[in-house]
Structure 1
């Protein structure tokens, strides 16, 4: 019997006025644009049909064509044939998943920060400790180990992202890190891209001048949260003084020096009504053609800070508004990885790269799969001074098993949405397998970085948002925005705080 696969999402996109049927398989991942003949057959199989009778129904002259289209739809995962179905298998782990890919390195050169953003995900006791800066030894060790691993897996270009805290809190340390990484990658015949997440308040003339040698490979992501009142309320200096004018001055200096600048806005209930005006200001007054944004998630430890996360409906209003405004102003949009259409698709391998190809190293050398894990001792992966690969291997082979057992001890409630269901030895709903199960070691850190598939309050609230976001992409985004083969994202993953 032929029938459509389960858990599909459909949408019609008009390309040059011509309607095109698009379908996402929510279980397997992948977005497919159907041809006219594929669309006709696909729609007819909304009802279960006997294959031979269905082919005969279309007439002898279309028999060969119908057989071909049906086989294509089966291959694309949009139609199933009961007679060809075999026992359900868990998603296969991609080849090489057990090897750290070494694509992007996040360095917390300084935990200290001169701002006091209430929504910051780094605990206050860490970001206000002025003594927490990375030593030159840790910087060199981290960069050396990362480059060595990148070479081992054939990576030709790496990304070094410097953040904190405020990375310019210790300017000399930051500049030394840039210079060392630049020299080492040149020695190895590799390329490097530098990304600095900054509030730009410390980007004075001397600092900008020192950055000029790296201008061609340097990307500055600058926090700008609305007009002067909104930004100053959301991002004050320690002590309460305003920062808006300092930020604007810093951005202008950077841009005049030929350094790439992209403003990033964290959207909350405080500034969600002024995003269109902000985009006009960025384009027309600052002469910048791009905006990165994400939606605020107030960390639990922050308490009541007078602003709230947006609802799913409010977030979708922002998505529609920014896309329309971007078309009007001819601007580019980037942002948080959760804007990826892959975010809502079970088993999509591109959901998060934390611990897979990216790693965070804090000022004291501690390693974390994700920057949002920084400060949580339970999610520490070891210390870089003991070796990058050695620590990750040890974690995969020992601590990850224990961690999965703890996370999945609730009877496998997280298995429904887990990216690696079954690979831990579970039986879909029965939790993790026995400690020592060899398959656990092949999971890599992705389950760890994504909380083992268990959804927290934030993700549960966002379920509707992600579903609506998928439909919006299906019906509104051209194919050069949504990559149908890689199932990639409309955004490029830049994520300043």
Structure 2
């Protein structure tokens, strides 16, 4: 990538640029023929330096290890399904079985908020994520949530919402603004792509309505809005989608590969390879824009700051740090498992099943050991931890069984992301904090990256 070669330590997340000799020393593949090719003094000097890095714990020895940092049930985020009602019928929706007019009650809201704040420690900032269905179809309940949180004097509570962008007016915009709500808006790209994937119940495409609402209400807040895009088989020429979002003025993009049990809709090997090639072209463009001091589109799979500090026990906090609560008050691992009783943890009104919570903590640890056995030879294990459980379930009928093609995609994204980060470090290190944020330096090792041992 970028005509450079980098080494990445999967246990410490340390990156450094390398040459052929350094690579051979690191991989212990230096043979007698190589010793004739390379100057003996340079070989010994590099060996000593690499040993120094190992002795200091900057480079690890052995296979990926299991980091036991977050196996405690400590909720900081709840996703509330305010309604199951939705005005769209998206082709790839995993909540099709939930299309109903059920709305969450005020009693469920109260119990959910109480559960969140009763399980917080003093240092944790709570987050309430508004979900559905389309949550903005139940604006009255959002107003109630605002008043109840205020009544409890919970001034530090953060709010986020995932919306399809079709429902917006002055009242809604004002309410979301008052709450300081972080908005994630689902948009698949151009009018052609959006209207193909995301139609209203009557079959009419949703692009024009979403674009109108963005232009009228959200244009001034584009830097705070995150666009969520689903990558389907029709979107693997992804550079075109990237160009659309970039030229349209969007700032933040989360792109997620389609998750489905439908074999005809799954991304196959050819789809993944084409997508990876497009992502490499995008990375070149992102790097050029960053180094030139131009605006750039912040894409989730290039966000090294997040990946870099993700030496954790799990791919995400589902069931440990975050839970989802459906319209009836039933508690699930996350929003993607809502409706699947296998992954239900209790009910906020009738009470949390503490035995289930204890079982879940043990289950997570055992799951990681199972994943570690399956992924023990994968250099990206500590960045991925086996991936999204729900994606695994849809793709392989088990939360522990990863999909080979999606693994290839995820590893390629990690490679591109690491290379992009390292290139910025080498070319213009003063931009690192600006591009990735202060959190990229949470780990003291990061301050020495990249280290060139050529």
Residue 379 of structure 2 is matched in structure 1 by: none
Question: Hey, what does 1:23 align to over in structure 2?
Answer: 7
Structure 1 residue aligned with 2:134: 166
Any residues of structure 2 matched to 1:10-409 within 5 Å, and which? Answer: 22-26=6-10, 28=11, 30-33=13-16, 43-47=24-28, 69-76=50-57, 78=59, 80=61, 91=66, 93-94=68-69, 97-122=70-95, 124-126=96-98, 128-130=99-101, 132-150=102-120, 152=121, 154-155=123-124, 157-182=125-150, 184=152, 187-188=153-154, 190-214=155-179, 217-256=180-219, 258=221, 260-273=224-237, 275-285=238-248, 287-300=249-262, 307-309=265-267, 311-326=271-286, 328=289, 330-335=295-300, 348-349=312-313, 351-387=315-351, 390-391=352-353, 393-398=354-359
Unaligned runs of 5+ in 2: 377-386, 426-431, 445-454
- Equivalence for 1:467: 411
Secondary structure of the residue aligned to 1:194 is strand
The structural deviation recorded for 1:163 is 1.2
Return the structure number with greater helix share.
Answer: 2
Contact 2:91 2:197 in 1 (8 A): yes
Q: Check whether the contact 1:208–1:253 (CA below 8 A) recurs between aligned residues.
A: no
Which SS does the other structure have where 2:235 is aligned?
Answer: coil
- The residue that corresponds to 2:429 in the other structure is none
Superposed displacement of residue 99, structure 1: 3.0
Instruction: Give 1:337 deviation, angstroms.
Output: 11
Q: Which protein has greater RCO, CA pairs closer than 8 Å, 6+ apart?
A: 2
Query: Partners in 1 of 2:340 and 2:142 — Cα distance?
Result: 25
Query: Deviation string for 1:355-400 (max 9, x for gaps)?
Result: 222111111111111222111111111112244xx53x42243466
Is contact 1:116-1:238 (8 Å) kept? Answer: yes
TM-score, with structure 1 as normaliser? 0.67
CA RMSD of aligned residues (A): 4.3
User: What is the number of equivalent residue pairs in this alignment?
Assistant: 400
CA–CA separation in structure 1 for the residues paired with 2:301 and 2:416: 17
Structure 1 counterpart of 2:452: none
Q: Distance in 2 between matches of 1:225 and 1:170?
A: 24
User: CA contact under 8 A between 1:13 and 1:22: conserved in structure 2?
Assistant: no
Q: Indicate how the Cα distance of structure 1 residues 340 and 269 shifts in structure 2: closer, same or farther if over 3 A, else same.
A: farther
Distance 2:358 2:273 in 1: 42
SS of residue paired to 2:217? helix
Shift of 1:317: 2.8
Q: Distance in 2 between matches of 1:225 and 1:117?
A: 11
Unaligned 5+ residue runs, structure 1? 1-11, 420-445, 488-497
Structure-2 change in CA distance of 1:41 and 1:224 (3 Å): closer
**Aligned-pair distance for 1:30?**
1.9
| Deviation per residue, 1:73-117 (Å, 9 max, x gap) | 24436464xxxx9xx9973522xx343333322111111111111
